[in-house]
Chains A and B, each alone.
Chain A
Amino acid sequence: MKLPKARRWFASVAMLLILLLTATGCTEKMIVLNPKGPIAEQQRDLMFISLLLTCVVIVPVLILFAVIVWRYRDRKGRTSKYTPNWEHSTKLEVIWWGIPIIIITILAVITVQSTYALEPSKPLASKEKPITIQVTSLDWKWLFQYPEQGIATINYIQIPEDVPIRFEITADSPMNSFWIPQLGGQMYAMSGMAMTLHLQADEQGDFWGSGANFTGKYFAKMYFDVKSTSKEAFNTWVSDVKASSPALTLDGYKKLTEPAASEVRTFSGFPEGLFEMTVTKYASSHNHGLSWKDIQKIDKQE
């Protein structure tokens, strides 16, 4: 017999795969499932809830599939029933229109709630005053400006733990997407507009982020380091940068916009209003489906 042999083979390959997965300590590397901040944490929980809910239907269906195929295969001496003209049963069909409808309804409720709860432009609840970091996607590097601290960096972010960060994101290059997997989901970086994304790190540690939307030749070099430290260490770092780095000039910025990858760099200052200038340079004044009311509401909350 051909089939059982092939099936046995398949089973052993699957076992091998599972073995490989566990042996490589892969679960730990799945950083999205290893969140270090409240947003990423809630997103992970959502992943698990939706996975569980869908599994409620899918696992039984997979089992049913295997049982049916096994039982009703055509073979000698089989005793299972054969009803060639049975083609309709209102009861059964109501059941299987019903089950997915119920599951999807539950999932829908959860999704709508979490969509509002996790809306990226919504500030995080916290006693701490949020820090703003202005993010610009350039060809092929990230420029980060700290307007309150007056410093800027390339391909490197340092943040204090437990403090909400308000990222304002734009691009001076093709559209990109700003993503720090362990802190939370990504947000597009587009020229002519400033998107807001609120994230926070709950603990100290080294993370990394990347560009997630293709921007051309050296797109694969758009990784950056993210370091979460104590507030004191953050402040020390800021003063260090202020004391020891050169300032970014307008000419320097023009150089940065030229297409090339870059190492990590720090700047003790930057031209005032640089970020706003970048945004308005391309602004075609469109607002992303946010109604005027939404915008006012967000402004009020802040």
Chain B
Amino acid sequence: MWERVKTFASEFFVTGDPMIYGADASIVITMIGIVFGLTYFNKWGWLWREWLTTVDHKKIGIMYILAAFLMLFRGGVDALLMRAQLAAPELSLLAPDHYNQIFTTHGVIMILFMAMPFMFGLFNVMVPLQIGARDVAYPFLNALSFWLFFSGAMLFNLSFVIGGSPDAGWLAYPPYSGIMHNPGVGQDFYIWGIQISGIGSLMTGINFIVTILKMRAPGMKLMKMPMFPWSVLSSCIAIIFSFPILTATLALLFLDRYAGAHFFTLDGGGNPMMYINLIWMWGHPEVYIIVLPAFGIFSEIVSTFAKKKLFGYKSMVYAMMIISILSFLVWAHHFFTMGSGADVNAFFALTTMLIAIPTGVKVFNWLFTMFRGKITFETPMLWTMGFIPCFIVGGLTGVLLSVAPADFQFHNSYFLIAHFHQVIIGGVVFGYFAGLYYWWPKLFGFKLNERIGKWAFWFWNIGFYLCFMPQYALGLMGMTRRVVTYGWDKGWWEMNLVSTIGAGLMGIAFLFQVWQIVYSVKHLQKDETGDPWNGRTLEWSIPSPAPHYNFATLPQVTSQDEWWEEKQRRLQGIATPATKITEPIHMPKNSGIPIIMSMFWFFTGFGFIFDWLWLAIPGLVGVVVCMLIHSFNYDTDYYIPVEEIKHTEAAIRGVTS
């Protein structure tokens, strides 16, 4: 008996690596710490009522961002480990197997469990406030989306200490990811982790499309909507068309692995290339899904800190819509070298280049928003300033990659790695940072320390260029991606060393950001105005942090920069009189079902990964039961009485006026 337990445990838990024992220990310690802390301070009830069951979009947004930050840490540690391994030739810090797992989990975590939740977090905290709404269209669904993402991410991360991590790259090409070459459970963790969170992403996409189309404040015509909601709309449109492809693709891969189907296998008539086509039909739109909202954020920030109207509003809108459509027509540029023939390659090279046009237009519009403005350089603007040159250069190398015959030389090399990190870090990560710094005072009611923030900014930027510029050169020197090490004979070590130093600087930059948050919490600079940046859009018209019903009375919108215009009117002494609070506010009730249902999904996933039907089937039953319970629950909302609203408003506004 004891022997059997031992063999089971040695297969079930990942063993043999000190780093993993360290992770085991830290997970257990953190868990004990959290449980102890919550019990000691008697916070279980508070946690459950205020956070775990919340349907408030702002709280859900904060949880998303918190999770994204943790994942940025995990993905960043992976990145540093890889860079350390590559710092000099013939190092053996990481064994090949381990290196392969690390670049795979790094890629997956960064794209799906860092960028996506960070983005959803920003959607959640700001879209309703910017369009003058009290909530998203489907608050319950919104909570469910978050918890599905969360359990998917946890499932994926578990593979590090239980069962073993996937190692087939972030897109898991078969046949390597098939059962024949990859018999362990790592790939199954990959499939289920992404699948579960992917369902959540799809629902978020639908939710925000409906929110933006249906819930805008009276008077806010689509063409009067701020730029961020526009970018969210274009991103969500891409989500609802691309995520079903991902779900189907991973489902087929699962059937191959689990049920011996032959969709993508080498034998039995399977065709791996089909998978590669399908996964990139999702994968390419995915990179635009994450970058479009960043474009929206930059637009907001540029016009706020240049104190000028956004230049070329309509151009911006068209550009984003064109990008979100074109992004579906370019996927084959990821495998020009698969011998599809000149017709196919020429077509996809052209569609890829086309995207450069609307993207270029956006850059011009940002520049001319600053032209004849009054620019100041607070941290959100600083990130925007860092973004512009970085993204321009990244865009340039992207155009180079799109020249199909030249891509035969760039493909799969470090040139590609440098390109996509440049657009993803320069565009997406810098963009979300800018957004977070910009909206932080609105979320929490205090400003982050600017001085430490500037240090973080410079470390990130210098580190970035040091890390990734040499990689362009490495690509041209013939270094391919995903190699665990290389020889002295290749002459790659100087560039790699510089690159690793740059990565280290970015690691330090991240620490600065953590310090910035801790410091700012300690030395609270309370923002009493609700409008610390002299903003232009509706979110700045209410107190910070926003009350849970957002707007006591729904604003009446007459122009694009409604709040800015209102402030101008006030300066001229023609303030719109405040509307009286006369109606109770309709709000959704908290619900425990999203988190419980997601836990059942987690069990289902875990059960299928280990082929434990005794766990998977009850998991699925639990999911269905949760759905039934929710659909028979008619007590899902309540009204906040007028008196209470007046009370709250007086309390939060009383201080200022």
Contact = CB atoms under 8 A, between A and B. Distances in A.
Contacts of A191: 175, 266, 272
Contacts of B399: 50, 54, 107
A114 interface: yes
A107 B353 contact: yes
Given A74-B375, A84-B307, A219-B483, A62 B389 contact: yes
A138 B34 CA distance: 49
B214 interface: no
Given A74-B376, A214-B482, A284 B458 contact: no
B462 interface: yes
A104 to B, nearest CB: 5
Interface string B348-373: 01100110110011011101101111
B272 A177 contact: no
Contacts of B481: 212, 214
Contacts of A260: none
Contacts of B315: 93, 97
A215 B100 CA distance: 10
Nearest to A218: B96
A269 B240 CA distance: 56
A212 B484 CA distance: 13
Given A24-B494, A100-B361, A50 B309 contact: no
A205 to B, nearest CB: 15
A218 B484 CA distance: 9
A21 B371 CA distance: 36
Given A2-B454, A30-B477, A175-B272, A188 B335 contact: yes
A80 to B, nearest CB: 7
Interface in B267-318: 267, 269-273, 306-313, 315
A30 B473 contact: yes
Contacts of B310: 87
B457 to A, nearest CB: 9
Interface stretch (B67-75, B119-127, B196-204, B402-410): B402-410
A17 B364 CA distance: 29
A256 B96 CA distance: 21
A87 B313 contact: yes
Nearest to A88: B312
B354 A104 contact: yes
Interface string A158-201: 00000000000000001101010100111110111001100000
Nearest to A294: B341
Interface in B310-335: 310-313, 315, 335
B305 to A, nearest CB: 9
B361 A210 contact: no
A24 B437 CA distance: 40
A214 B354 CA distance: 30
A290 to B, nearest CB: 5
B522 interface: no
A32 B309 contact: no
A114 B308 contact: no
B312 A74 contact: no
Contact of B462 (A10, A24, A50, A214): A10
Given A13-B466, A85-B309, A215-B176, A51 B473 contact: no
Interface string A34-61: 0000001011101100110011011001
Interface centre among B344, B376, B396 (most CB of A within 10 A): B396
A54 B400 contact: yes
B312 A29 contact: no
Nearest to B95: A217
A44 to B, nearest CB: 8
B431 to A, nearest CB: 17
A211 interface: yes
B639 interface: no
A64 B335 CA distance: 36
A54 B259 CA distance: 50
A86 B406 contact: no
Nearest to A193: B339
B84 interface: no
A220 interface: yes
Given A104-B353, A116-B346, A212-B480, A188 B338 contact: yes
Interface in B97-132: 97, 100
A83 B308 contact: yes
Contacts of A104: 353-354, 356-357
B587 interface: no
A180 to B, nearest CB: 9
Contact of B169 (A14, A40, A114, A214): A214
Nearest to B350: A108
Contact of B342 (A97, A116, A212, A286): A116
Nearest to B308: A84
B496 to A, nearest CB: 12
Given A24-B494, A100-B360, A187-B339, A58 B409 contact: no
B3 interface: no
B409 A185 contact: yes
Classify chain A: how many residues form its interface, as a range.
35 or more
Contacts of A284: 269-271
B469 A17 contact: yes
B476 A282 contact: no
Interface string B381-411: 0000100110011011001101111111101
A243 interface: no
Contacts of A74: 307, 374-376
B82 interface: no
B329 to A, nearest CB: 14
B337 A177 contact: yes
Given A74-B375, A86-B372, A112 B357 contact: no
Contacts of A92: 364, 368
Nearest to A113: B346
A17 B485 contact: no
B340 interface: yes
A119 B342 contact: yes
Contacts of B273: 190, 286, 288
A234 to B, nearest CB: 24
A184 B492 CA distance: 20
B341 A119 contact: yes
A72 B169 contact: no
A33 B476 contact: yes
A57 B370 CA distance: 19
Could you say which of A69, A115, A119, A223 has the most chain B C-beta atoms within 10 Å of its C-beta? Answer: A115
A17 B466 contact: yes
A121 interface: yes
A192 B412 CA distance: 22
Interface string A201-230: 000000010111111111110010000000
A72 to B, nearest CB: 5
B406 A217 contact: no
B173 interface: yes
A81 B409 contact: no
A241 to B, nearest CB: 24
B491 interface: yes
Given A43-B405, A82-B372, A121-B339, 16 more contacts: A9-B458, A29-B477, A29-B491, A32-B409, A33-B476, A44-B409, A50-B400, A58-B393, A64-B367, A96-B360, A100-B361, A120-B339, A186-B412, A190-B273, A195-B338, A223-B487
21 contacts: A3-B377, A24-B494, A29-B477, A31-B476, A47-B403, A47-B406, A58-B393, A58-B396, A61-B364, A65-B388, A72-B370, A81-B372, A87-B309, A87-B312, A111-B346, A116-B342, A119-B341, A179-B480, A220-B485, A282-B267, A289-B341
Interface of B: 96-97, 100, 167-169, 173, 175-176, 181, 266-267, 269-273, 306-313, 315, 335, 337-346, 349-350, 353-354, 356-357, 360-361, 363-365, 367-368, 370-377, 385, 388-389, 392-393, 395-396, 399-400, 402-409, 411-413, 454, 458, 461-462, 465-466, 469, 473, 475-478, 480-487, 491-492, 494-495, 498
Q: Which 9 A-B pairs have the closest CB atoms?
A: A185-B408, A174-B176, A87-B309, A212-B412, A96-B364, A118-B405, A30-B476, A100-B360, A220-B483
